[in-house]
Amino acid sequence: MSVKKLKPITPGQRFRVVNGYDVITTDKPEKSLLAPKKRTGGRNSQGKMTMRYKGGGHKKRYRIIDFKRNKHGIPAEVKSIEYDPNRTAFIALLNYQDGEKRYIIAQNGLQVGQTVVSGKEQVAPEIGNAMPLSSIPLGTIISCIELHPGQGAVIARSAGAFAQLMARDGKFATVKMPSGETRMILVTCLATVGVVSNSDHQLLVSGKAGRTRWLGRRPRTNPVRMNPVDHPMGGGEGRSSGGHPRSRKGIPAKGYRTRSKTKASNKYIVERRKK
């Protein structure tokens, strides 16, 4: 993967850094795996704004992604690597031997024509293959991890994300998460071998405010610029700092822990993420 810096022939392109898209093989999605995606603009059923800073944006269609990888033991050929407007990672179109087509999150290094398979029996720990944590060798870099068996991937799905399988003990495996947290997950949960594609996503620069509007994000007001009635950090004469950083509802930022001390899943966390 690569990024390109554009020549500044317009003001919006002066600092623009775009994705090279050199791994993308087609610009036409599979029609049978498309679904409509309705926008709310941050409004509820009464038309009242319940979520600020949302609205506008380019029209999209949702790509139906197979997060469960539940066609076990059936090999599939990678037909294409595609762009998905609904996520930061690229997606791969799989053609199964029984004729079914499915989209999955593409891993770095996944090639068109490659064969991938999911399941426990006779599955090699190669890029793109989905396996239970009980079958993956220790130290392997993994992504698209289930938290509960059969739930579907919920962890490490965005561009460049990965986790590492550290150890196994009984029915639990110890996984180091993308956040740095070390956590126990049931060994019957599926995970995909490899790092999620499009790791250069973090290097992109939009170049102009309008491109953020195309993504459906409206301008956000800096809390320090607000009045005291609107935000705890608002008000003051001149350029006041605004006091302690906190949210609109008064919850402190920068180190204040909001996780419940009595949460049931606390016992599965071996080591908390770094501050």
pLDDT in tens, the chain (275 residues): 689 999 999 999 999 999 999 999 999 999 999 999 999 999 999 999 999 999 999 999 999 999 999 999 999 999 999 999 999 999 999 999 999 999 999 999 999 999 999 998 889 999 999 999 999 999 999 999 999 999 999 999 999 999 999 999 999 999 999 999 999 999 999 999 999 999 999 999 999 999 999 999 999 999 999 999 999 999 988 888 878 899 999 999 998 989 999 999 999 999 998 86
Burial 197-236 (b: 16+ CB within 10 A, else e): bbbebeebeebbeeeeeeebeeeeeebbebeeeebbbbee
User: Is 95 within the bounds of a domain?
Assistant: yes
Q: Is 241 exposed, middle or buried (0-12, 13-18, 19+ CB in 10 A)?
A: exposed
* H helices present in the chain, as ranges: 209-214
**256 within domain boundaries:** no
Structural domain contains residue 123? yes
Structure tokens at 197: 């594609």
Q: How many domains does the chain have?
A: 1
Task: Point out which residues pair with 103 in neighbouring strands.
Answer: 65, 93
In the chain, the amino acid numbered 269 is I
Q: Which domain holds residue 136?
A: 3-201
Side chain identity at residue 31, one-letter code? K
CATH code, domain carrying 72: 2.40.50.140
Task: Confirm whether 192 is domain-assigned.
Answer: yes
The confidence score (pLDDT) of residue 61 equals 97
Question: Which one, of 19, 13, 4, 16, lies nearest residue 159 by Cα?
Answer: 19
Is the residue at 236 inside a domain? Answer: no
What span, in angstroms and rounded, lies between the C-alpha atoms of 108 and 126?
12
Residue 87 belongs to a domain: yes
Residue 136 in any domain: the answer is yes
The residue type at 220: R
Q: Tell me the sheet residues that pair with 184.
A: 174
